């Protein structure tokens, strides 16, 4: 069965409105993109939508109680909610270095979650 799916390209400020036509899961055409980046984006959003995960985890003895963390690369969108739940269970010990791996292979994606800043101990400087 043929159907159409609409997306808004988020790769530049033009925000092109994209329409992907497909038949039984096979992409037939992408229209509305002003460049190839948008065409690729629509196909990815249809076949395997991914998002960069960004959240915080708890830290014991840190200068701040929470540490911002980010996935080293985008993970499947359908796994983001469960990944955030898994990270909510993590409690780190300060200090933490920028880029330090906080959680390996989140949800079996092969992607590590890393610290997005350095966090010292509560009694430091
Ligand atoms: S399709 Fe190309 S020009 Fe249009 S928003 Fe995406 S990146 Fe920008």
- Mean of per-residue pLDDT scores for the chain: 96
Give the closest residue (by CA) to ligand 1 atom 3: 34
C-alpha–C-alpha distance, residues 12 and 119, integer Å: 33
How is the chain split into domains, by residue range? 2-47, 54-115
Q: Are strands 91-93 and 54-60 parallel, antiparallel or unpaired?
A: parallel
- Pocket test residue of 6, 10, 19, 35 for ligand 1, highest count of atoms within 8 A of CB: 35
Just give the CATH number of 54-115.
Answer: 3.10.530.10
Residue 111 beta carbon below 6 angstroms from any ligand 1 atom: no
Neighbours of 102 (CB within 10 A): 19
Name beta bridge partners: 92. 59
Residue 42 beta carbon below 6 angstroms from any ligand 1 atom: no
pLDDT digits over 47-106, tens only? 999 999 999 999 999 999 999 999 999 999 999 999 999 999 999 999 999 999 999 999
């Amino acid at each position: 069965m043929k159907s159409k799916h609409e997306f808004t390209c988020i790769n530049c400020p033009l925000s092109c409105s994209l329409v992907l036509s497909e038949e039984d899961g096979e992409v037939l055409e992408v229209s509305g993109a002003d460049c190839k980046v948008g065409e690729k984006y629509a196909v990815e959003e249809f076949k395997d939508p991914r998002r960069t995960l960004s959240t915080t985890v708890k830290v014991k003895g840190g200068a701040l109680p929470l540490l911002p963390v980010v996935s080293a690369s985008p993970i499947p969108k359908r796994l983001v909610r469960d990944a955030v739940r898994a990270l909510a269970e993590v409690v780190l010990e300060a200090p933490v270095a920028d880029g330090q791996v906080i959680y390996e292979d989140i949800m079996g994606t092969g992607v590590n979650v890393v610290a997005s800043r350095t966090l010292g101990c509560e009694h430091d400087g």
